[in-house]
Structure 1
């Protein structure tokens, strides 16, 4: 087998094992696989985060995805990265998230859907992300510090 196939199969097995240990029903398995291979190294299995480094993804993304500005924030974050100190649920993180713009629009949409719908129990009336939405977001180029600044405005407007 090719090394890439072996890595992908290992990531899928890890993701399936992680979801089973959390008792989680997974609707976006492709997103879970990509999350396991690309995001879990910092955000950990199940999106629980790492104190001081990477914030948990189990609460805020669900709230973000229910608003147009929040959806724009999520797409900007995965496409452009983000760095700087942030607070999530009274904990502080100083994280430098890389850009994942090298992933396809479909892969990014699946990852965001996994995070919003499988890791977040509350996501209001959010609709699933589409590849077309990610493709359109690629036209709004921001640097990581601008993504950080827009997050601050968004969290304040959502009362987070």
Structure 2
């Protein structure tokens, strides 16, 4: 019996080793602006804590910002930000999905819609193919205000 379980255990371990680590992706790419705890930095980067649940009313918005970036004026928690969120399109879809799921689960769990489904690499691949514009991202944000 243990000989039959060994291939399954090895496959599981290999799958876990190959899975993107959203916390590590966040630390390497996001924390310098948004801070390790997602609190943001006044005047530089808006907070990610407790601010994204309502933005999921348009499912593509949050991953669209991560994939395409966004520049210009934005208000979050009463503070105005005028800056630029860079595109992270150079990262693989699995890492993008992992980091967004980390931010949502770690900093926004209480605000997530009841029917929320975590993002997959396939969600990012589809969004990448559709190439949302800055105008589209702004329209999606307005829909969630």
TM over 0.5, yes or no? yes
- Give the match for residue 53 of structure 1: 44
Return the offset for 1:57: 0.4
**1:29, distance to aligned residue in structure 2 (A):** 8.1
Query: Is the contact between residue 22 and residue 95 of structure 2 (CA under 8 Å) also seen in structure 1?
Result: yes
Partner residue in 1 for 2:117: 127
Encode CA deviations 1:54-98: one digit per residue, 9 max, x unaligned: 000012222323x3x1x2001110111001111111111112011
Check conservation: 2:54, 2:144, Cα contact below 8 A.
no
Which residue, 13, 27, 39 being the options, matches 2:30? 39
How many aligned positions are there?
Answer: 125
Structure 2 equivalent of residue 83 of structure 1: 71
Distance 1:42 1:144, change over 3 A: farther
Q: Name structure 2 gaps, 5 residues minimum.
A: 1-18
TM-score, normalised by the number of residues in structure 2: 0.78
Contact 1:82 1:145 in 2 (8 A): no
Q: Give the deviation of 1:140 after TM superposition.
A: 1.7
- Is the CA contact 2:44–2:83 (under 8 Å) kept in the aligned structure 1? yes
How far apart, CA to CA, are the structure 2 residues paired with 1:154 and 1:30? Answer: 31
What's 1:95 paired with?
83
Secondary structure of the structure 1 residue equivalent to 2:74: strand
> Given the superposition, is the C-alpha separation of residues 63 and 112 from structure 1 closer, same or farther in structure 2, using an over 3 Å criterion?
same
Superposition RMSD in Å: 1.8
- Shift >6 Å, 4+ stretches: none
Larger radius of gyration: 2
